Amino acid sequence: MSDVLRVAIAGLGTVGAETMRVLRDNADLLTARAGRPIQVVAVSARDRAKDRGVDLGGVAWHDNAAELAGRDDVDVVAELIGGSEGIAKDLVEAALGSGKSVVTANKALVAHHGTALGALAEVNGVALAYESAVAGGIPIIKTMREGLSANRIERVYGILNGTCNYILTVMRETGRPFADVLADAQELGYAEADPAFDIDGVDAAHKLAILSSIAFGTTVDFDAIDIQGIRPISPVDLEYAQELGYRIKLLGIAEQTEAGVQQRVKPCMVPMTAQIAQVDGVFNAVAAEGSSVGPTLSYGRGAGAGPTASAVIADLVDIAADRKVPVFGVPGAALSAPRAAGIESLSGSYYIRLMVIDRPGVLADLTAVFRDERVSVEALIQSGRDPGEIVPVVLTTHETEDAAIRRSVAKIADLEAVTEEPRVLRIEAI
Amino acid sequence: MSDVLRVAIAGLGTVGAETMRVLRDNADLLTARAGRPIQVVAVSARDRAKDRGVDLGGVAWHDNAAELAGRDDVDVVAELIGGSEGIAKDLVEAALGSGKSVVTANKALVAHHGTALGALAEVNGVALAYESAVAGGIPIIKTMREGLSANRIERVYGILNGTCNYILTVMRETGRPFADVLADAQELGYAEADPAFDIDGVDAAHKLAILSSIAFGTTVDFDAIDIQGIRPISPVDLEYAQELGYRIKLLGIAEQTEAGVQQRVKPCMVPMTAQIAQVDGVFNAVAAEGSSVGPTLSYGRGAGAGPTASAVIADLVDIAADRKVPVFGVPGAALSAPRAAGIESLSGSYYIRLMVIDRPGVLADLTAVFRDERVSVEALIQSGRDPGEIVPVVLTTHETEDAAIRRSVAKIADLEAVTEEPRVLRIEAI
């Protein structure tokens, strides 16, 4: 073990540059905390000429990131490139395979290949650290793997995508439609030019897959996640949520059920008084419920150069201090393949919003469907009267099975008076 | 290093018994997480005959806790006795001195003797772990020492005493006076028979002293804390807080100011929309603001057998896995003595509630005092009119110096129309 922890950084976007800056600016403090200096000795990025606001003097430059894995003078590779395949994956595999620890902010990579990469790290006796891949600056990986190690985790859920949370927050506060708010978010830099990854729930699902693996001691099972994004949410749904005492949040939820591990990313209703309902704007929060500790919640910035660099450096300090943790909390051999439970195995309460032609008999038709499917209606709101026009009708149900809701909604969608696809949201018991 | 981590538990109250139970019930899981088994080999408590719901078979019993430190077959002593002096302190010193690691839930001990005990642990190359001493099941020590290691911490604050938070919550929800709610809390087991330690802010101050040390890399300085409890809070204050858009919380706050480190435990007003304002009942929360990560908050149960055992065991798992962290985040030699800043060095906004005789000229007298002290009044509320009777008058100020508020309030208290001690609360910018 060298006296200095020698780091190579692959990818000098805002996170990579900020990581370099903080490592230098806080060098004395970090050395005291880590027990030895942490020094960047090599970097790789696409454009050497670009001004990133950090001095690259004395640091080896590689146009090809893969070369970082071959350097004998590197102890740790920080992979800040991104993407589940290609250069990032090749680099991480090569680095682990050559006995180098890896720190990565790459949620897609860990969600898709975490189990295999974890095994590779274990075989080579090195770390694969990914604190920055989940919920940015919130040290939730450390919290779950170490801070809550006494607990059997019963459920983990969270607001895992700041873009979606920002959009939902602004829609609620302003009543403006999804597309408008998304366009603003793109201008403000809170959403990408191609926003699909965020707003369709894929990014949140990557993070959920990782949290689920740690929570339940299972191999990473991204493909089992039931994913739905926030595009279908209308301002009218946010208004009804408010009226009913809820907030609409895009939550990633992984829970142990009798049928197995159920993982989902979906917009849902949460009671307005729940701690997580208060998390607004670009912030993230992750709640873990443990057998001894009960409910916990960790809150902070889930993205951005500063918070992400904070997590990258925390991983580097752990490696410098030789603090070792099994990649997913237990040795790879102890990870079980999760028995995946489908969403149809759930029961719960539901919010259903319909657009119907306001005419006699419509409510009777609707309620007949629910009666036939043995779904118990808790509340029914038909706010305005406007004979012959299209008006919203909102129902909430008592606890029922997901399958019964699906059947009911399919029948209702076929009713002549129902003019658009019914909007169905689970009311999560949180 | 033995294959098994051998633990002695001193103190078999609810926490000690729960720790034993969880170590046994979750033995397989904990072995996988820690890399080796954790086994209780010896215990000490006052009454051997008492039924604690745990099997003590095969575990050595000591009437005298001090003897645990002398056992050759013990790697770690878990000190769950409590108290800053006497048996707990003697045991911890003896254990550390004989090369045993110590896990303790004893906030008073660490607040008063943490620096010296930390040095003793360091000299002997063992751990002094105290996750359970601060905020119960919330892994805030790990979060601050490791999860946020990249950051310079600018401020740390929290709801650190569940008893006080419960009482304030119930007072707000019911409008009942402090003494009544305290009596109920005592019956429910949320407050001790002698509640002074909790409600006068001492317990919260113990925890704050520890957090402050980690946050700022300073020796533990309990004596510098400005402490005030919740006894003076009336339901009328909670009502005005609500009207003005605030919640009243007992916060422990440690912050870097130009004058040095300012530590205080005081009831204060926080904006109703702040994350910490939503923390109700017996729950705790700790917010840390870091240079890279920005605002963070960790929420969970701050007391009780389960949450405390969760933290005790997390410390044991870290020790079993040989994960080492300097006791207060940096080596003892790197800890500086804090330059303590008095509360008079602060500025901010204030809430002042007076009880005055409702008669002409009173408001003119009050406002003249503020004018003379150059305190700018933001709002003044005189809710009811009741000539000749005692009525509340509430003022909030713009940003001003604490010293000016003190002088103003002293003058106001001397006015003939003012019938009781003015109530002054800081409005914390959170």
What pLDDT, on a 0 to 100 scale, did the predictor assign at position B2?
58
The partner residue sitting opposite B318, judged by closest CB among A131, A146, A295, is A146
A279 near B CB under 8 A: yes
Q: Using only C-alpha atoms, what is the Rg of chain A?
A: 24
In degrees and rounded to multiples of 5, residue A154 shows phi and psi of -95, -30
Element (H, E) at A395: strand A390-397
The partner residue sitting opposite A314, judged by closest CB among B22, B150, B152, is B150
pLDDT digits (tens, 9 = 90+) for A57-115: 999 999 999 999 999 999 999 999 999 999 999 999 999 999 999 999 999 999 999 99
Could you tell me which chain A residue has the CA closest to the CA of B295?
A300
Please name the residues in contact with A3: beta carbons below 8 A apart, sequence gap of 6 or more.
A36, A37
A234 near B CB under 8 A: no
- Report CB contact under 8 Å: B142, A137: no
Counting residues of chain A whose pLDDT is more than 90, the rounded percentage is 94
> Which chain B residues are within 8 Å of A14, Cβ to Cβ?
none
Residue from B38, B148, B149 to probe the interface with A (highest A Cβ count within 10 Å): B149
- Report CB contact under 8 Å: A300, B293: yes
User: Distance (Å, rounded) from C-alpha A373 to C-alpha B419?
Assistant: 67
What pLDDT, on a 0 to 100 scale, did the predictor assign at position A344?
86
User: Distance (Å, rounded) from C-alpha B312 to C-alpha B110?
Assistant: 15
Task: Tell me the pairing of strands B246-257 and B153-159.
Answer: antiparallel
User: Distance (Å, rounded) from C-alpha B80 to C-alpha B86?
Assistant: 13
What pLDDT, on a 0 to 100 scale, did the predictor assign at position B407?
95
B292 near A CB under 8 A: yes
- Report CB contact under 8 Å: B137, A34: no
What pLDDT, on a 0 to 100 scale, did the predictor assign at position A205?
98
Q: For residue A405, name the pLDDT band (cuts at 50, 70, 90).
A: very high
User: Distance (Å, rounded) from C-alpha A53 to C-alpha A51?
Assistant: 6
**Structural domains present in chain A:** 5-133 (3.40.50.720), 142-301+337-343 (3.30.360.10), 346-427 (3.30.70.260)
> Which chain B residues are within 8 Å of A138, Cβ to Cβ?
296
Please name the residues in contact with A173: beta carbons below 8 A apart, sequence gap of 6 or more.
none
Say which of A89, A100, A107, A207 is annotated catalytic. A207
- Report CB contact under 8 Å: A292, B149: no
CB A343 within 8 A of CB A402: yes
- Report CB contact under 8 Å: A294, B306: yes
Within chain B, what is the greatest distance between any pair of CA atoms?
Answer: 81
pLDDT digits (tens, 9 = 90+) for A192-241: 889 999 999 999 999 999 999 999 999 999 999 999 999 999 999 999 99
B307 near A CB under 8 A: yes
What pLDDT, on a 0 to 100 scale, did the predictor assign at position A383?
76
Q: Is A122 exposed, middle or buried (0-12, 13-18, 19+ CB in 10 A)?
A: middle
CA B151 to chain centroid, in Å, comes to 22
Taking CA atoms, A39 is separated from A27, A316, B148, B276, in Å, by 9, 10, 19, 37
A91 vs A2, which has greater pLDDT? A91
- Report CB contact under 8 Å: A22, B142: no
> Which chain A residues are within 8 Å of B322, Cβ to Cβ?
324
pLDDT digits (tens, 9 = 90+) for A293-307: 999 999 999 999 999
Residue with tokens 């001492």: B202
A252 near B CB under 8 A: no
CA B372 to chain centroid, in Å, comes to 38
- Report CB contact under 8 Å: A148, B138: no
- Report CB contact under 8 Å: A139, B146: yes
A151 near B CB under 8 A: yes
- Report CB contact under 8 Å: B300, A300: no
> Does residue A89 have an active-site annotation?
no
Mean pLDDT, chain A, integer: 96
Sign of CA dihedral B141, B324, A334, A69: positive
Adjacent-strand bridge partners of B92: none
B354 near A CB under 8 A: no
Can you state the percent helix, strand and coil of chain B, rounding each to 5?
Answer: 40, 25, 35
What single letter denotes the amino acid at residue A52? R
- Segments in B280-361 forming alpha helices (H): 305-320
- Report CB contact under 8 Å: B290, A321: no
Could you tell me which chain B residue has the CA closest to the CA of A310?
B150
CB B298 within 8 A of CB B182: no
pLDDT digits (tens, 9 = 90+) for A233-262: 999 999 999 999 999 999 999 999 999 999
Task: Of B97, B98, B92, B64, give the one whose Cα is nearest residue B78.
Answer: B92
B221 near A CB under 8 A: no
- Segments in B98-150 forming alpha helices (H): 107-124, 140-142
Confidence (pTM): 0.97
How many A×B Cβ pairs under 8 Å? 196
Q: Dihedral, CA atoms, B214, B217, B222, B227, nearest 10 degrees?
A: -70
User: Distance (Å, rounded) from C-alpha A222 to C-alpha A217?
Assistant: 14
A30 near B CB under 8 A: yes
Tokens of B29: 């899981």
A162 near B CB under 8 A: no
What single letter denotes the amino acid at residue B233? I
- Report CB contact under 8 Å: B138, A323: no
What pLDDT, on a 0 to 100 scale, did the predictor assign at position B345?
86
- Report CB contact under 8 Å: A299, B296: yes
Is the pLDDT at A2 greater than 70? The verdict is no
Tokens of A343: 């969403």
pLDDT digits (tens, 9 = 90+) for A257-285: 999 999 999 999 999 999 999 999 999 99
| Assembly ipTM | 0.96
> Which chain B residues are within 8 Å of A329, Cβ to Cβ?
33
Tokens of B339: 């330059």
Could you tell me which chain A residue has the CA closest to the CA of B137?
A293
Adjacent-strand bridge partners of A166: none
What pLDDT, on a 0 to 100 scale, did the predictor assign at position A264?
98
Could you tell me which chain B residue has the CA closest to the CA of A136?
B293
> Which chain B residues are within 8 Å of A271, Cβ to Cβ?
none
User: Distance (Å, rounded) from C-alpha B305 to C-alpha A297?
Assistant: 19
3-state secondary structure of A340: strand
User: Distance (Å, rounded) from C-alpha A251 to C-alpha B294?
Assistant: 23
**Euclidean distance between the first and final Cα of chain A, in Å?**
47
Which segments in chain B show pLDDT lower than 70? 1-2
Q: Which residues of B are catalytic?
A: 207
pLDDT digits (tens, 9 = 90+) for A163-196: 999 999 999 999 999 999 999 999 998 888 899 9
Sign of CA dihedral A270, A272, A276, A278: positive
User: Distance (Å, rounded) from C-alpha A127 to C-alpha A99?
Assistant: 9
Please name the residues in contact with A356: beta carbons below 8 A apart, sequence gap of 6 or more.
A362, A366, A390, A391, A392, A393, A415, A417, A418, A419
Task: Of A396, A425, A109, A56, give the one whose Cα is nearest residue A268.
Answer: A425
Q: Which of residues 327-346 of A touch B (CB under 8 A)?
A: 329-331, 334
